[in-house]
Structure 1
């Protein structure tokens, strides 16, 4: 099987037609058609179906196109590595990170890595946590920094506890509830919420915590996907509430006028982990990078008091039990 044929298949399905794919790949249509016929013969099945609206993938075509995209990414990565090597960069570290923890934690991590290893090159990609782990498995990252919703990591993946974190409720300093610093049962009625995402593995944890705090049906007016700065700027305007992980949000409070509200509910754990492929740990240089990130997280945790007993504003008992 020619790997170029898999890349060509991925391009056909991406462009939606052989005509557009041939133009993009700088191949004639007969050549591209012949290559797909060869690939279909080798794999023993149809890769896509033609119609007057273009091409529609089969299940087999989808699976093989995924491999083609992976090959194309590897080739692009190889070209970038070669270019950086010519520029004097001896090593690249690819980090995948959630948007909020990335904005709060990654600047310090990158500065530390560059200080310890001046010849290293760091790439950072932000995405939703469950997608980042899938991308790590596919080889698109060397390290992922994200919370865990799994009992154990997937085969071939290792994870290390970065920070013991949990969820909190936050609002802007000008929000009506900010003065009391309390989210009591019924106090959020009619208030709008900003959601970090839908269909998330952590969605049930958020719902359970809010129900225990007396917020039965939060009215989500805004959903923000993969964009930390937008979420924080909206929250800082003082018209919404949001459930956010406490560790990165506390780090970012120095830049945004955001207040955490005390609530009558058990904290929902959302520990943050460092994920990597098991084979990477055999490289002493990579192990040093991993240890540097863990050490930086420990120092950041001390600054925010994360990992210590939760320091919340003391609230009179009558406020917590009022309807």
Structure 2
């Protein structure tokens, strides 16, 4: 089958209109209509249905459009590789970024990447558990994410990834600016914490444990995974309580040190950030160079950023 036909179908489904798709594909509407007719002859059934609002795919049209979307994406990626080559870049690396890490270190991170003139960097932000799976599927070259994650949690293929701790951190309990616990100098008892409203950040990444967190003893009504902005907003405007990587949270400069409280009888767990990579890429020369560069600047950041009396 001509892959162009699938690409064109995918564009029609995406636009919901043959005329709009023709504009996006830089072809005439009659040309696109003939291409769709060729595809329907190959299939032996309609791939589109006309409605008063445009066109929608049939059942087989949906399935073929999904294939076409993948072809479109690969084509666009190929065009970008050509542009990179003409611009003098040697290679592209895709790096997964933990949401809080991205929020807290965006200035330093982008500055470091831009200094590497030979490479193009594509940063993908998302929950750590999801990104571990992306990495094992070959969609990421490197990942900056919590070191304590188990790769078994993602897909069961333990041993396919390697990691090195590059940034030290501990978990901390933070209260919203409207909380009665704000600025508390003495440790708060777990029993007292149970009376407050909790939210969860990063729960799907193994962030909470029943032993460490008193909130685990009651239902938490709201949780955020794969993003941090909403959590920071709630800490700024409400009385809610959350557990976060303390050093990164304070590095955002949007959370006041007075919002971090001590919990009686608890030692904060390690929440270090690791640099992850696929074991099969360990011997690739270009991968080694980029891995060493990321390792060096993150460990340099670790040495220069304040430790906020966390006992790192």
TM-score higher than 0.5: yes
Give the counterpart of 2:173 among 169, 172, 193: 169
Give the counterpart of 2:163 among 160, 163, 173: 160
Query: Do the aligned partners of residues 267 and 67 (structure 1) sit closer, same or farther apart at CA in structure 2, a change above 3 Å counting?
Result: farther
TM-score normalised according to structure 1 size: 0.69
Partner of 1:234: helix, strand, or coil? helix
Q: C-alpha separation between the residues in 2 aligned to 1:149 and 1:51?
A: 49
Q: C-alpha separation between the residues in 2 aligned to 1:50 and 1:134?
A: 37
| 2:198 and 2:220 in contact (8 A); partners too | yes
**Map of 1:54 onto structure 2:** 56
Give the counterpart of 1:206 among 205, 208, 212: 208
Task: Map 1:1-323 to 2 at 5 A.
Answer: 1-8=1-8, 10-11=10-11, 14=14, 25=25, 26=27, 28-35=32-39, 38=42, 54-55=56-57, 57=59, 62=63, 68-115=68-115, 117-136=116-135, 140-147=139-146, 148-151=149-152, 158-162=161-165, 163=167, 165-172=169-176, 175-180=179-184, 182-189=187-194, 191-196=196-201, 200-202=204-206, 205-206=207-208, 208-209=210-211, 212-213=213-214, 216-217=217-218, 219-221=220-222, 223-224=223-224, 226-237=226-237, 239-252=239-252, 254-258=253-257, 259-263=259-263, 264-265=265-266, 267=268, 270-278=271-279, 280-302=281-303, 303=305, 305=307, 311=311
TM-score normalised according to structure 2 size: 0.71
Root-mean-square deviation over aligned CA pairs: 4.2
| 1:160 and 1:274 in contact (8 A); partners too | yes
Structure 2: any 5+ residue segments left out of the alignment?
none
Query: Do the aligned partners of residues 49 and 67 (structure 1) sit closer, same or farther apart at CA in structure 2, a change above 3 Å counting?
Result: closer
Q: C-alpha separation between the residues in 1 aligned to 2:49 and 2:160?
A: 39
Query: Do the aligned partners of residues 219 and 131 (structure 1) sit closer, same or farther apart at CA in structure 2, a change above 3 Å counting?
Result: closer
Q: C-alpha separation between the residues in 1 aligned to 2:160 and 2:5?
A: 30
Partner of 2:262: helix, strand, or coil? strand
Partner of 1:96: helix, strand, or coil? strand
Note the C-alpha offset of 1:271. Answer: 4.8
Note the C-alpha offset of 1:287. Answer: 1.1
